[in-house]
Structure 1
Amino acid sequence: MNKTERQLAIILELQRNKVLKAEDLAVKLETSVRTIYRDIQALSEAGVPLIGTPGFGYTLIEGYFLPPVNFTVEEAVSLLIGADFIEQRFDNQYSQNARSSRAKIEAVLPEPIQNESERVRKNFRLRIHPLNPEIEDREKTHIETIRTAILNQKKIRFKYLKRIPEPDGNRETIRTVAPLGLVLVQGGWLLVANCDLREDRRHFLISRMSELTITNESFEMPDDFNLQEYRPPDDRKIQIRALFNINVADKVKESNIYYIENTELRSDGYYVNFRVREPEELLQWILSWGADVVILEPESFRIRVKEEIKKMLKHY
């Protein structure tokens, strides 16, 4: 990083973080504190309104912004593709903002950069696996409602359709939760929330929600919760081992199903070990492979697969 790039980075860091010490800037920019002092002095002499307070750090006078930044072709393409993604998968408000942002970015690009970025973008296509239009519209509406609830720290209530029925055969439950964050996982939106019913942290697929409303009950965001660092506990305890026809090994790999723990390709087939919470989670996926898969263990799951196949045969 040369002197000009470093001084620009200092301004951007101060705009982003409001207040930073010289030591913090030195760590972020991988340089010495003495160099940061020299850069701060040079920026001040150039008219950048910096304020330094001993023991507190440096800050920019409120209202100061950098003039328009010159984007490289790669930077422009990255921003425009990012806007395409947001337009497709976020709620309606952010979709509109993404379109507006894309138009503004394209408007300020110099003509040579604009032409070159357009040429590059013609060779890339962001094609996200489409949902059922009805589900997609409902999901976007739910995302907007949940986003509002998170910002206002209000609990939400909804009906939830579970993948696996309760012991009484009922799949639908009513939940009141404190929404903590939204995560896009394998093409579907997932809500991380503290559930009143289970008195624990739970995950909910947005596509399985209905009758979603914001309640008047407030909640406080847990001090120990950081969505960027959050890793859910792995409570998959049940082991399932299967043997796939060697001809479909590549397709099994490409399926990228979450439950696969490890695999082994042998001359007699493709051995796959799964780890699940409940065998039912894997049942329909296993059945989709037809005669190309055999369950090796446990015996209880082999019997469950046989039972389901017998039920299927009754329809033919």
Structure 2
Amino acid sequence: MNRIDRLTAILIQLQGKKIVRAAEIADRFNISLRTVYRDVKALQEAGVPIGAEAGTGYYIVEGYHLPPVMFSKEEAAALLTGEKLMEQFSDHSNKKQFSLAMEKIRSVLRGSEKDYLESLDENIAVLRYQPAKTEAEEFPNRFLSDIQQALGMTQVVSMEYFSLQEEVATRREVEPIGIFHISHNWHLIGFCRLRQGYRDFRVDRIRKLTVLSTSYRKDKHPSLQNYLEQQRQRNREENAYLIKIVIDNDIMRYIRDQKYYYGLMEEKVTGDQTELTFLHAHLGHFARWIIMLGNHAKVIQPQELKTAIQDLVKELHDHHF
């Protein structure tokens, strides 16, 4: 990247955040801190109002804006892919907001970029295979934007939540700490004032939601990343079984993603087989996975897993014969 392109990119980076540390700029462009200082000084001399806070970072003075940004074909194509993903993996509120944002983006594209996107549009698809929900099962599924607002403004949310476990709807007031997507569903992690503890709420099970004017202290709660890591560590320590299996090398490529889902800890090749060590909480769940691998997999430990597999095999035999 030449210096002119780098200066433009730094300017965009500065406008994208309230404060940007010099180290962030250096890491992004693989340059030294001294070069960062020179680049920032060059922007200041060119008339860009960049301020600095000692020990914190750089910022652009409030009120300054870049002229409209032009996108390359590759950037526009990446945004189109993002739109396709949003259509399948977001809720009604975020789909609408992203669609409006894409309209604005398309409006600033040059004619050739617009033609490029139109030619790609019908040739990119994101498929999501899951049973269609009936009208009675389909909740509003339109609260992600409200939850994001509550997270950004540290506001309490009041919601009517339907618990699959208890099969009943309850009114909750929640201090949200983060959202994440896993296994086709969005989840809200928050401190539930009713239960006086942190809870995991599936967003598509929220029937009604209101962002309250009441604020909460963010520093009272762990970050989302810290909370999820604490949960993973707790599961390992309290519930998980240490599992060792061996699998034939010629089928390892078929489980390269699955093995991480089942809690892979260690992988060691021994001849024409690979020894895998896992921490997993549910032996029945793990046993069903091992059965799918047929005689290409063998359990070393624990004995309880071997027994679970034997029970499943007997159950299948009794069912089919």
TM-score by length of 1: 0.70
Mapping 1:20-35, distance limit 5 Å: 30=31, 31-35=35-39
Deviations 1:110-152 (A, max 9, x none): 12233345556676x3524333232995494464565465453
Mapping 1:108-119, distance limit 5 Å: 108-118=108-118
Separation in 2 of the partners of 1:189 and 1:117? 29
Look up the match of 1:184: 181
Q: 1:77 to 1:18 in 2, by over 3 A?
A: same
Contact 1:242/1:296, CA 8 A, preserved across alignment: yes
Look up the match of 2:218: 221
Contact 1:83/1:101, CA 8 A, preserved across alignment: no
**Residue 126 of structure 2 corresponds to residue 127 of structure 1:** yes
Look up the match of 1:232: 229
Mapping 1:148-297, distance limit 5 Å: 150=151, 152-154=155-157, 156=159, 158-161=161-164, 178-185=175-182, 187-194=184-191, 201=198, 203=200, 206=203, 209=205, 219-223=216-220, 225-227=222-224, 231-233=228-230, 234=233, 235-236=235-236, 237-244=240-247, 248-256=251-259, 257-264=261-268, 269-289=273-293, 293-297=297-301
Out of 106-115 and 242-251, give the one that drifted further: 242-251
Separation in 1 of the partners of 2:147 and 2:52? 41
Q: 1:183 to 1:258 in 2, by over 3 A?
A: farther
Separation in 2 of the partners of 1:26 and 1:247? 44
Q: Give the drift of 1:95.
A: 0.7
Q: Give the drift of 1:275.
A: 0.8
Deviations 1:19-43 (A, max 9, x none): 679x68975774253553343122x
Separation in 1 of the partners of 2:25 and 2:176? 37
Look up the match of 1:165: none
Structure 2 residue ranges without an equivalent (≥5):
none
Separation in 2 of the partners of 1:232 and 1:203? 14
Deviations 1:282-316 (A, max 9, x none): 24433444555443321122223333443444434
Percent identity over paired residues: 22
Out of 148-157 and 271-280, give the one that drifted further: 148-157
Q: Give the drift of 1:238.
A: 1.3
Contact 1:153/1:220, CA 8 A, preserved across alignment: no
Structure 1 residue ranges without an equivalent (≥5):
163-169
Separation in 2 of the partners of 1:265 and 1:20? 45
Q: 1:2 to 1:114 in 2, by over 3 A?
A: same
Look up the match of 2:61: 60
Separation in 1 of the partners of 2:168 and 2:306? 28
Look up the match of 1:167: none
Q: Aligned-pair RMSD on alpha carbons? A: 4.4
Separation in 2 of the partners of 1:25 and 1:282? 42
Separation in 2 of the partners of 1:290 and 1:109? 54
Deviations 1:58-107 (A, max 9, x none): 64352x43222222111111222222222321111221222233233233
Separation in 2 of the partners of 1:247 and 1:90? 37
Q: Give the drift of 1:263.
A: 3.6
Look up the match of 1:85: 85
**Residue 38 of structure 2 corresponds to residue 39 of structure 1:** no
Q: How many residues align?
A: 300
